[in-house]
């Protein structure tokens, strides 16, 4: 029977198995079918994946040079374009829409021999923390099907958690990779803003959005990152900084300087046991010779409001293109309906409640009477956060915090209370506000039996440090 542990081991399996890629794809197709109830996939690209696998097996037999991700079976969140395949941001408004080009990340995966097995369910337009906002139903956490997997990239997290692919790509605007990774007990990386091209990623809030990676090992995260990161002529916000070979730079025996936010560990909304286990872990790090110090972060109460003002403003602008004319869904019209009615009906029927709420909120904070009070003020806070962050990284290699204040909650538990849902993002939105890389690694188990993670954040484009620390922490056993 096929079993996946890491890309490296899979590649040694392929060396002695002429039809190995096909074996792997068939394994995942079987697992996906068996676990349909989790609702992690919106669509499985069965025929294409089998065909890619057969081609890769043939290439290997013919002695052709093999890509870094040769035969690696990858799933994409339903916001990442794959040419000739449907993509819909889990929304009715993109009903029937087919990508006409590849996202740069997809292009790079394919160029290194990856196999794209399907597209994952998510919160509509990546707005949510529980995956209950999908137009195609909630995703279930594989550990306990009454629990949410987190969101918005819940399907991609569950796909890795439940062995429905080897690695998956999500997107992270305010925690959508790290938070579901935390709830599902897998690794979730959000790189620096500008590390991976956003070309072909359906936009939610363009100055925050970043493609992220779910996997079970840091080696795999590092390898996928080095493949998909880097300059791109199609995205002027992506950095031209050279991409290190992250996967070859993972081992160190350095002693690190960590900071943590006192306000975060003492936060009233933080589950007592998550706080206690995180504090105990800090003591372990100190005992191992690392420096761990508390730093003041009195801006913590402002991060969630700032995030929700700025992202909804950007979303209201980004989502204006979905008007019933250019893409996907168009409402049925009556004879007397004019163009405005076409827009109104298509958008009211095509967008779900949460997306509508955010478009309204974003339009409000950008409206002339309120622009200065909300949008400008939030931009000022963002600047303060950036300045504070630069100061902190003058003295520390990384900041540590819990990823989420609680473990996975019940499906339905918070769906009627958007404010409670937004507050759960308190620890994850900060790195997106300031553009730094952050990762959630599954280090802990709660007494309720559920996994939870530690969030690590490093300075801009210091993914190497982040991955080295993660590797050290995960391999301690
Ligand atoms: N939960 C956050 C939100 O709903 C984060 C979403 C994301 O990162 N895409 O906005």
What is the domain partition of the chain in residue ranges? Answer: 1-477
pLDDT at 419: 84
Which residue has a Cα nearest atom 10 of ligand 1?
A: 127
Range 349-371 average pLDDT: 97
Rounded mean pLDDT, 392-412: 97
Q: Which one is catalytic: 134, 176, 197, 471?
A: 176
440 is known as an active-site residue? no
Is 401 part of the annotated catalytic residue set? no
Q: Per the structure block, which two tokens stand in for 201?
A: 């990623």
Residue 187 belongs to what H/E stretch? Answer: strand 187-190
Cβ–Cβ under 8 Å, residues 445 and 184: no
Of 239, 211, 13, give the one whose Cα is nearest residue 122: 211
> If you measure from the C-alpha of residue 184 to the centroid of ligand 1, how many angstroms do you get, rounded to a whole number?
16
Mean pLDDT for the stretch of residues 227-244: 98
Distance CA 378, CA 215 (A): 34
Q: How far is the CA of 79 from the centre of ligand 1 (A)?
A: 13
* Distance of alpha carbon 228 from alpha carbon 314, whole angstroms: 25
In 3D, which of 195, 260, 255 has the Cα closest to residue 392? 260
What is the rounded radius of gyration, in angstroms, for the C-alpha atoms of the chain? 22
Task: Report how far ligand 1's centroid is from the alpha carbon of 188 (Å).
Answer: 14
Can you identify the CATH homologous superfamily of domain 1-477?
Amidase signature (AS) domain (3.90.1300.10)
Atom of ligand 1 nearest to the CA of 358: 10
Q: Is 215 annotated as catalytic?
A: no
224 C-alpha to ligand 1 centroid (Å): 23
- pLDDT at residue 476 above 80? no
Phi then psi dihedrals of residue 411, to 5 deg: -60, 130
Q: Which of 173, 213, 353, 426 to mutate to test the pocket of ligand 1 (most atoms within 8 A of CB)?
A: 173
**Atom of ligand 1 at shortest distance to CA of 177?**
8
Is residue 70 scored above 80 in pLDDT? yes
Residue 204 has pLDDT above 80, yes or no: yes
Q: Which atom of ligand 1 is nearest to the CA of 424?
A: 1
At 327 the pLDDT is 85
**Helix extents (H) in 288-376:** 300-318, 339-350, 353-366
Please give the number of the atom of ligand 1 that sits closest to the Cα of 432. Answer: 8
User: pLDDT value at position 371?
Assistant: 95
Residue 477 clears pLDDT 60, i.e. is over it = no
What element of type H or E holds 456? strand 451-458
* Residue of 89, 128, 154 to mutate, ligand 1, most atoms within 8 A of C-beta: 128
**Residue bearing the CA closest to ligand 1, atom 5:** 174
Atom of ligand 1 lying closest to residue 307 CA: 10
Report the mean per-residue pLDDT for the chain: 97
Q: What is the pLDDT of residue 421?
A: 87
Q: Which residues line ligand 1 (CB under 6 A)?
A: 126-129, 152, 171-176, 204, 311, 425
Considering the candidates 129, 152, 168, 316, report the single residue annotated as catalytic: 152
The rounded percent of the chain whose pLDDT value lies above 90 is 96
CA 380 vs CA 33, 99, 173, 300, 309: distances in Å: 49, 37, 19, 15, 12
């Amino acid at each position: 029977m096929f079993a996946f542990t890491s890309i490296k081991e899979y590649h040694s399996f392929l060396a002695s198995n002429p039809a190995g890629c096909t074996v792997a794809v068939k394994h995942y197709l079987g697992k996906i079918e068996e676990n349909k109830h989790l609702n992690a996939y919106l669509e499985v690209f069965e025929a294409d994946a089998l065909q890619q696998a057969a081609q890769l097996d043939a290439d290997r037999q013919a002695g052709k040079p093999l890509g870094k991700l040769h035969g690696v079976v990858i799933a994409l969140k339903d916001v990442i374009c794959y040419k000739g395949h449907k993509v819909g941001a889990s929304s009715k408004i993109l009903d029937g829409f087919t990508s006409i080009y590849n996202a740069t990340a997809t292009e790079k995966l394919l160029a290194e021999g990856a196999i794209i097995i399907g597209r994952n369910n998510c919160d509509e337009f990546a707005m949510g923390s529980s995956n209950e906002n999908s137009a195609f139903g909630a995703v279930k956490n594989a550990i306990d099907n009454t629990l949410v997997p987190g969101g918005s990239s819940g399907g991609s997290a569950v796909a890795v958690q439940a062995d429905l692919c080897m690695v998956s790509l999500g997107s992270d605007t305010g925690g959508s990779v790290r938070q579901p990774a935390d709830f599902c007990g897998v690794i979730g990386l959000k790189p620096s803003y500008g590390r991976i091209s956003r070309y072909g990623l359906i936009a939610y809030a363009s100055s925050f959005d970043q493609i992220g990676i779910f996997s079970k090992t840091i080696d795999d995260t590092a390898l996928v990152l080095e493949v998909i990161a880097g300059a791109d002529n199609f995205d002027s916000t992506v950095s031209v900084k050279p991409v290190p070979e992250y996967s070859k730079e993972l081992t160190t025996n350095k002693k690190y300087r960590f900071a943590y936010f006192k306000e975060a560990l003492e936060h009233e909304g933080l589950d007592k046991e998550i706080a206690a286990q995180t504090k105990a872990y800090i003591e372990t790090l100190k005992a191992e010779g690392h420096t761990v110090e508390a730093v003041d972060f009195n801006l913590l109460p402002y991060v969630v409001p700032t995030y929700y003002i700025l992202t909804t403003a950007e979303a209201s602008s980004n989502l204006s293109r979905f008007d019933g004319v250019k893409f996907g869904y168009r409402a049925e019209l009556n004879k007397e309906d004019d163009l405005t009615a076409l827009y109104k009906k298509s958008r009211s029927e095509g967008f779900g409640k949460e997306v509508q709420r955010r478009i309204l909120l974003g339009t409000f904070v950008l409206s002339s009477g309120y622009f200065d009070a909300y949008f400008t003020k939030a931009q000022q806070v963002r600047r303060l956060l950036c300045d504070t962050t630069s100061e902190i990284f003058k003295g520390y290699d990384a900041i540590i915090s819990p990823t989420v204040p609680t473990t996975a909650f019940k499906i339905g538990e918070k769906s009627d209370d958007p404010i409670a849902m937004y507050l759960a993002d308190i620890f994850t939105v900060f790195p997106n506000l300031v553009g730094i890389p952050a990762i959630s690694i599954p280090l802990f188990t709660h007494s309720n039996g559920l996994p939870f993670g530690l969030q690590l954040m490093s300075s801009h484009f210091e993914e190497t440090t982040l991955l080295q620390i993660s590797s050290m922490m995960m391999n301690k056993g």
